[in-house]
Amino acid sequence: MAILLNKKASLRYVFFILIGCISRQAVAHGGPLNEQAVQACIAKTVSENCQYQGHHNDLYIGTCQYLTEQSLMCVRNKPIQTIAPETSTEPEGEHAEAH
């Protein structure tokens, strides 16, 4: 009888460990929605190429995929590319006009 109780306790323990692992994976994919990825697919169709620039000079390239039945989101399928910050050739401050 004691062995049977130990098996039930062990199975219950394994069950809770598995549930914990599964729920952590679900949370890992439940992050905040990237509005830039959604905006990149406005007026596009599913599987159409898209790209958008992230906040740290990163370029994300992918295809538009369904977020819901009516809206699309750019899903990256290529490596993230780092782009150089734009450099201005004009002097800072007010623009001097030549006469």
pLDDT in tens, the chain (99 residues): 555 456 665 556 544 444 444 433 344 456 778 999 999 999 999 999 999 998 888 999 999 999 999 999 999 999 999 988 764 344 444 444 444
Sequence-distant (≥ 6) Cβ neighbours of residue 48 within 8 angstroms: 41, 63, 64
pTM above 0.85, yes or no: no
| CB burial of residue 55 (10 Å; 0-12, 13-18, 19+) | exposed
Segment 45-50 long-range contacts (CB within 8 Å, at least 24 positions apart): 45/72, 46/72, 50/74
Q: Please report the pLDDT score of residue 27 as a whole number.
A: 42
d(CA 41, CA 4): 57
